[in-house]
Structure formats: structure tokens, C-alpha cells
Amino acid sequence: MFKNFISYSKVLYQLLKTDMIIFKKNIIGNAIDTSIWVTITLVATAYVFPHLGMNQSYGAFMAISLIGSCGVFEVWPTTATLISDITGEQTISYALTLPTPTAIIWIKYAISAAIKSMINALIILPLSKIILGSRLPLDNFVFWKFILIYVSISLFTSFFAVFMTSIVKNMETMRSVWLRTLFPMWFLGSSQFPWYALHTFNIKVAYLMLLNPFTYLMEGIHAATFANQNFLPFWICLLLIWFWIIIFGFVGISRLKKRLDSV
């Protein structure tokens, strides 16, 4: 069993290495894309919105939401790429012929997507601090908690993409995936406002959002950054994120194995 583990690990490493070599070519372009998105969002929320009566701390809240949202926004393109391949050229068929369990191949896709998401999001915090300055207080920033939740969020969104791939039939339905599923879950999942603000507005809707796994992504990363403010407890968020990682990973991989008639 140990020999098999070592063998599978080597295959996984080589596959990931290949993905990273390809991804490396686009790092600068991705950084520019992320910088434009972050800059426009923070200038609007931190400097324009206050003139409309918005609390000045909203810019700082959004800066941290953007870090959590980076992985969420990768779910759609990751799912679209996999669906396009499965229903088209099926280049994945080559990977499935490798001497390794099928699950390893899908885990590779998830880990690869997670690494790319983490790299793309690296620029967000320092850029946000440059743009916001003292408007982004980091006095209660807990580095190790932040890294822990940062990695967990990236793994969650990547395994969620694998799960979404298992239930989306074809590319024609991808638009509906974003509008009917991803956007509502992200928008209402504490990305635009803290859960406690929603609780103050409507208790029933707030408790309903506790069934939304995206809520724990956003609340968790805010709790790691602004430890003294009203967010859901960090450890509860982290525990539930990993609960959903396991659920989405297991269900998604199982469904994909059946879909591709692989074992």
C-alpha cells in the first residue's frame, strides 16, 4: 500500500508540475487582471460610496471579501473548461489511462485549480493596503489563521468546481450555472455584507444562509482579519469549510467516475 501511495504521489506531482509550467506563462497577465478588478472595486467602495452615505469601513470589508471571492470567480471558468473537454475533445481520456486511480486525476484538477487561485489572489491584500492605507486596519490580523483559511477557501472552491462539473450537462447550461447558483450563493453568502447585518435585517433569511457554504468562506476570512468584530467564529467556519470540501469532493468525484464510465 505504501509503495502504491508513493507511486500515485509521483504521478500527481508530475501532473501538477505540468499544469504549473503552463500556468506560469500567464501569471503576469492574471496579476494585471486581478489588479484592475481590485482597484476599481476598492476605489468605488472606499472613496465613492461614502459620499452616498456608506460607512467608510465598507472598503476594508470589501478588500477582504475580494480575497475570498477570487477563488469563487475561478469556479465558473474551471467548470467550463472541464465541461468543454468532457463533452468535446476529451483530452482527459489520456490522464485516465495513467496507472493511478481515477480519483487521483480529479484531485489533481482540484489541487491545480486551488494553487492557481491562491497565486492569483496573492496580490490582493498588499494592493488593497496600498489603495486604502489606514482605511484597512490590520491591527487584529492573525497571519496563521489567515493563511489557514486562505488555503482552505482555495481548496473548497476548486473541489466545488469539480462537483459543479459533475452536475452540469453541457456548455449551453453554463450561463444558468452562474446566474442561478454561483451568483446567488456568492452574493448572499456574506461577500457584500456581514452575516450579522443580514441577521439584523431578516432573521429567517440569515439562518437560511447558514446552509450556504459560501457564508463560511467569507465570514471565516473576515474573522481572521478583523478579530474583534462581529463575524461568525473562525473555527466553526474552518470546520464547516472542510466539511463541505469533503462532501463536494466525494460526491463530485463519484459522479464524474460514473459519468465517464471509469473505475
Query: Does the global pTM surpass 0.85?
Result: yes
Taking only the tens place, the pLDDT of each residue in 176-187 is 877 888 899 999
Average pLDDT over residues 101-117: 90
Q: What is the mean pLDDT of residues 218-227?
A: 93
Report pLDDT for 100.
80
Q: What would the pLDDT profile of 196-207 be if each residue is shown by its tens digit?
A: 999 999 999 999
Query: Span 79-84, mean pLDDT?
Result: 86
Q: Rounded distance, CA 230 to CA 194, Å?
A: 8
Higher pLDDT, 88 or 42: 42
DSSP H or E stretch at residue 111 = helix 102-121
What Cα–Cα distance (Å) separates residue 195 from each residue in 41, 43, 58, 257?
Answer: 21, 24, 14, 37
The pLDDT of residue 34 is above 70: yes
User: Locate cell 509550467: which residue?
Assistant: 21
Between 127 and 12, residue with greater pLDDT = 127
> How many domains does the chain fold into?
1
137: left (phi over 0), alpha (psi -120 to 50) or beta: beta
Q: Give 221-244 as a DSSP string.
A: HHHHH-TTSS---HHHHHHHHHHH
Given a cut of 50, is residue 263 above it in pLDDT? no
Mean pLDDT of 101-112: 89
In single-letter form, the type of residue at position 16 comes to: L
pLDDT at 78: 86
Q: Residue 155: how many CB atoms within 10 A of its CB?
A: 21
Task: Tell me the residue range of the domain where 120 lies.
Answer: 2-259
Question: Which pLDDT score, from 0 to 100, does residue 143 have?
Answer: 92
What was the pLDDT predicted at 1? 57
Closest CA to 78 of 215, 214, 182: 182
Report pLDDT digits (tens) over 164-178. 999 888 777 777 877
If DSSP codes are grouped into helix, strand and coil, which group holds residue 150? helix
pLDDT surpasses 70 at 262: no
Q: Cβ contacts of residue 233 below 8 Å, gap of 6+?
A: 223
Joined together, the cell numbers standing for residue 61 give: 470589508
Q: How far is Cα 83 from Cα 80, in angstroms, rounded to an integer?
A: 5
